[in-house]
Structure 1
Amino acid sequence: MKKIIFFLGLTWSSTAFGHVDLDSVNVKTKLNWTLGTRSFFMSTTYYDDFKNDFSWAQSAFVKLETPAYKGFSISGRYAIFGKILSSDLVARDPITGGRNRYEAGLLDVTDLGNNYFGRVEEFQLKFKTELLSFAAGRMPINTALINPQDGRLSPTFVEGLFVNFTPDRFNTATLNYISSISPRSTSSWFGIGESMGLYPIGLDTEGNPSAYIGNVNSDFISVFDWKHVVEEDAFSFEFNHTYVQNISSTFLTQFQRDWKLANSKRLVSGLQIMFQHGIKDGGNENALLRYKDPYDENWILGVRIGMKSPKSTWHLNFTHIGGKGRYLSPREWGRDPFFTFIPRERNEGFSEVTAVTAYYESRFSEKGLVFYGHAGLHFLPKANTFKINKYAFPSYAQGNLGVKYTPEAWGRGLDFHGLILTKLALEKEELMPGWIYNKVNLVHVNLIANYTIQWK
C-alpha cells in the first residue's frame, strides 16, 4: 500500500514540477498503464450577502488494461480523492438555510464530511472485432442523457453491458444496458432508482421539497444510439432512445453539417428534435413520492448556425422546451444534450423554456492555447410556477470566459484550464433569497491542472 501511495505521489509531484520522461523508463510489463492526476480549485462569490465558498481538491487514478487476446481484454481503473483546503461546506447559508452546490461537487455530495475516499471506477471484460464489440462490467459512458458531465474531479461511470455494431465506415449502432451508476462527485455505486436525488432534489409540483429520494422504483436503463457519419461531407445524423424503466422514454434526433466555403471556412449548422414522455407510475404509485408524472409530455427543438475556420469557431444556438409538465433527466446522470448548454448550468427540470446562446473559440495551436467564451439568455417560467419550474430558478443571463493551455514543448502530458463565469437574474421584481443562492447573481471561478502519463 505504501508503494502505491508513493507512486501516486510521484505523479502529483510531476504535475507541479514537470513530467516523467517515459523514454528513460524501462517498463517490463505487457500491461497498458495510465496514471493521471487532477488538481481543482473552485470558488463562488455572490453580489448579495450570501455565504461565499471555495474548495481545492485533488484526485489521482491508475488504469490497467491487458493486451487483446483473440479480441478479448480486461481493464480496470481505481481513483482516489482528497480535500486539500476549503471553506466550511457543511455549514448552511445563514439567510436561506441552503447548502453549497458547486464546491461540494469536488468531494462526495452524499457525505460532505468524507474528505478522503477511493472508488473502483472501471472493471470490465471487453471483446472487439472490426464489426462487433462489447463490454461487460463497470465502464465509462457518453450518450445524450447519460454522459461524463462537465468538470469536477472524475466523470460518471456505469455498470452493465455495452454492445457496438459497425457494419461500415458510415454507420455505428450501440446498445447500453445499465443496472447501476456511480455519478461524478460520489464515492459509491447506486441502483437506478437510488441514484435519483443524490444531487439537489428541487421542489414538487406544489412547491414543497421533493420527496422522491429513496422512493423511486426503477431497475435499469436501456440506451440505443445510431450514428451515421459522412466525413467527406462533414455530415452526421444521430438517433438516440433512452428508456428508464418505470420512469420515462426519451427520443432524440440530431442533424449536423458543415458546409464548405471559401478560404478554408465552413458554415456550421445543426438541428435537434427531442420528445419525452412519462411511463408506468413514474417511479412510485404514490404521486407524492414519484420522480416523474407519467402523463408528462415534452418536446424540445434546437437549432445551431455558425462558422469555423482553422483558427476559430463561432455559433449561435436556440432551444425551446415545450409541452405538458416538466422535462426531467436526473442531473446525477449527465449534462443537457442541448445546443444551448453552457458549462455550470442546466435547463433540466423545466418546461416553457426559451434559450439563446452564443459561443466563440480562438485557437493558437503553435502555442498550445485555446480561448473561448459563452454568452446566453435563458427565459424560464416564473420561479414560483412550480409545476414547470422544479428548482424555483429565475430567468437568467450567463457569461463564461475560459482558457486552455497544453504545454507540449516543456510539459508533455500536462494541461491547464481556467474558467470564470457570472450568472445574473433577468427578473425585475424582487427575488426570494432561495431563488438567488446557488443560482444567480454570482461569480464562479475554476482553476484546473491535469497530468496524464501512459506506458504501453
Structure 2
Amino acid sequence: MRTLQLIIYLSFLWFPLNARQDSTLWKTNVELGLRSYLMGTSYPGGDFKNDHAWGQMARVSLSSNLPHGFKVNAEYLGFLRLLSSDLTALDRRVPNLNRYEVGLFDVNHLDRRIFGKTGNLNLAFEMEKFQAKLGRMEINTPFINPQDGRLSPTYVEGLQLHFQLHPQIEMQSNLFWAVSPRSTGGWFGLGESIGMYPVARDVAGSPSAYFNNTHVDFAHVLNANFALKDHGKLQLNHTLVDNIYSAFLAQWDQHWNIPETDLKGITGLQATFQHGLGNGGNEEIDLRYRNPEDYHLILSGRIGLQSKRNLWYLNYTNMQGKGRYLSPREWGRDPFYTFIPRERNEGLGQVDALSTYFQHSFIPHPIQAYSFVGIYFLPDAADARRNKYAVPSYAQLNLGMRYNLDALVRGLHLHLIMMGKVALDQQELKPAWVYNKVNLIHFNTILNYTLPWQHGKF
C-alpha cells in the first residue's frame, strides 16, 4: 500500500506542473459527513445482560480533478464513543461478548474511546464509457458490500474497472487484496480479517480456530448488469475468494404496468450456487474456515406492488446443500430477497424463509415509514454441522422511519429502527441460543448530516 500512497502523492505534484492552465483542473470538492448512532438491546422477561451505546463518526472527503481524466479521492473517518454500557463484560449466563453495540466501535480494540482510519484513498480515471480506480474504495456487490448500518461501511483495497459496453449493458471487475471491515479501525489482509467477528463453533461443536489461520491472497468479483425492456433488470455475478469459495448468482427483477391503475407489479427471481475452493483456508482441518467439499444452491423469489406512495414485497428463500453456506461476515451481508437488517442466514446449511416488506411515503412530507416481517426455519440450533452460530428458528419484526430534515437543516436526515426477534419454539431454549439471537428488542436512532463544498480550490 505504501507504493500506492506514493503514486497518489506524486500525482498531486506532477499533474499541476505538466498541465495547461485549465480552470476545470485541480478543483477540489470537499464533503463533511457526521453520523450519530444510539443503539440499545434488552431481553424482556429474561435475565440476560442489557446493553446500550452511543457513537459519533466524523468524515472528511476530498475529490480533486486532475488532467487527462484522472481524479484523486481521499477520505478520513474519526470515531468517538460518547457513552456505553461495559461492552467488555460478559453475560453471567453466557460467556460471550455483546453482539450488536460493539459494532459501533472497533471490535478488535473495545477499550478505544477514540480512533480513526482512512476510508477512500484512490487514483481514478474516468472516460465516457470506462472508469477505473486503484487504491482504497467502497464496494457494493452481492456478497461483498458496505453491510447494513453502523458508523462506517466496509472498504476494500484493489483495482476496480467499469465498462459501459452498450447503453443497456455494463460490466464491473473488482480485484482486491486488502479490506477494512465495518466496525474496525484499520486495514488488513483478506485472510487476516476473517474471524474478527465472532467465530462461533466448528462442525464438531468446538470453538472455531480459523482466526489468524486463514490463507487468502485475493478476491475477484465480476458483475454484469443488463437493462431489459419495460423496467426490467438482469444481474449476473461471479464472486471468487481465493482458497475459500466460488459463487455464481443470477438475479432478474421486473416491473409490470397494471392496466387502468397507477400500480406496478413487481417480480424477482434469484439463483445462487456456491462451492468450496482450495483447502478452505488451511490444510489442517481444525484450522480451516470452511470445508472445501461443501456446496449450496439458494433460490429466492419476490412478488410485489408499487404505487406513488406505497411499496410492498413478499419474499421467499430456500437454501439446500452440503455442510454450511459460508461467506465472511466481515466483508458483507446476504444478498437474498428475504434478508432483514440485523440478522443473516450465513453459517447455515438449510433455510426456508418467508418475509414481507411494506413502505409508505407521507407525500408531500419527507417522511417514510416501513416494516419488515420474516419467519425463518433453520436447522436445529444443537446441530453444529449445519448451524454454525446456534441460532434457533425465529420470527423477526423491524419497524422503521426515515425523515428528511432538509427543510430545517440542509443535509440532515433521521432514521429510527425498532427490531424484535422471538424464537418459534420456546421449549428447552439454552441461554446460548437466546443471548444476542432471539427473544430480544433492539432499537437504533441514527442521525446523518452531510455538508458539501462544491468546487472549492486549494
Same fold? TM cut 0.5: yes
1:229 & 1:437 partners in 2: Cα distance? Answer: 44
Does structure 2 conserve the Cα–Cα contact (< 8 Å) formed by 1:361 and 1:370? yes
Deviation at 1:408, TM superposition (A): 2.5
Question: 2:33 — aligned with what?
Answer: 36
Q: 1:216-255 CA deviation, whole Å, 9 max, x = no partner?
A: 011100000000013x511000011110001100110000
Q: Which amino acid aligns with 1:165?
A: F
Question: 1:264 — aligned with what?
Answer: 262
TM superposition score normalised by structure 2 = 0.92
Question: 2:193 — aligned with what?
Answer: 195
Question: 1:16 — aligned with what?
Answer: none
Deviation at 1:59, TM superposition (A): 0.3
Does structure 2 conserve the Cα–Cα contact (< 8 Å) formed by 1:66 and 1:74? yes
Q: Which amino acid aligns with 1:369?
A: I
**Structure 1, unaligned stretches of length 5 or more?**
1-28
Deviation at 1:167, TM superposition (A): 1.4
Alignment of 1:136-285 (within 5 A): 136-230=134-228, 233-261=230-258, 262-285=260-283
Alignment of 1:18-417 (within 5 A): 30-47=27-44, 48-230=46-228, 233-261=230-258, 262-417=260-415
Q: 1:345-400 CA deviation, whole Å, 9 max, x = no partner?
A: 00100011100000000012421100000000000000011111000110000001
Q: 1:261-293 CA deviation, whole Å, 9 max, x = no partner?
A: 132210010000000000110000101100010
| CA RMSD, 1 decimal | 0.9
Deviation at 1:409, TM superposition (A): 1.8
User: Per the alignment, in what secondary structure is the counterpart of residue 103 of structure 2?
Assistant: helix
2:408 & 2:351 partners in 1: Cα distance? Answer: 47
Question: 1:25 — aligned with what?
Answer: none
Q: Which amino acid aligns with 1:191?
A: G
1:408 & 1:196 partners in 2: Cα distance? Answer: 40
Does structure 2 conserve the Cα–Cα contact (< 8 Å) formed by 1:367 and 1:407? no
Q: Which amino acid aligns with 1:246?
A: N
Does structure 2 conserve the Cα–Cα contact (< 8 Å) formed by 1:170 and 1:228? yes
User: Per the alignment, in what secondary structure is the counterpart of residue 435 of structure 1?
Assistant: helix
Q: Which amino acid aligns with 1:32?
A: N
1:161 & 1:145 partners in 2: Cα distance? Answer: 17
2:74 & 2:241 partners in 1: Cα distance? Answer: 27
Paired residue total:
427
User: Per the alignment, in what secondary structure is the counterpart of residue 385 of structure 2?
Assistant: helix
Deviation at 1:436, TM superposition (A): 0.4
User: Per the alignment, in what secondary structure is the counterpart of residue 62 of structure 1?
Assistant: strand
**Structure 2, unaligned stretches of length 5 or more?**
1-25
From 442, 447, 450, give the equivalent of 2:448: 450
Q: Which amino acid aligns with 2:72?
A: I
Q: Which amino acid aligns with 2:51?
A: D
User: Per the alignment, in what secondary structure is the counterpart of residue 388 of structure 1?
Assistant: coil
1:328 & 1:41 partners in 2: Cα distance? Answer: 30
Deviation at 1:68, TM superposition (A): 4.5
Deviation at 1:130, TM superposition (A): 1.2
Question: 2:3 — aligned with what?
Answer: none
Deviation at 1:67, TM superposition (A): 1.9
Q: Which amino acid aligns with 2:204?
A: E
User: Per the alignment, in what secondary structure is the counterpart of residue 432 of structure 2?
Assistant: helix
1:437 & 1:409 partners in 2: Cα distance? Answer: 41
Does structure 2 conserve the Cα–Cα contact (< 8 Å) formed by 1:76 and 1:124? yes
Seq. identity, %: 48
2:32 & 2:163 partners in 1: Cα distance? Answer: 30
User: Per the alignment, in what secondary structure is the counterpart of residue 429 of structure 2?
Assistant: coil
Q: 1:285-327 CA deviation, whole Å, 9 max, x = no partner?
A: 1011000101001000000001001101001000011011100
Runs of 4+ in 1 over 2 A off after TM superposition: none
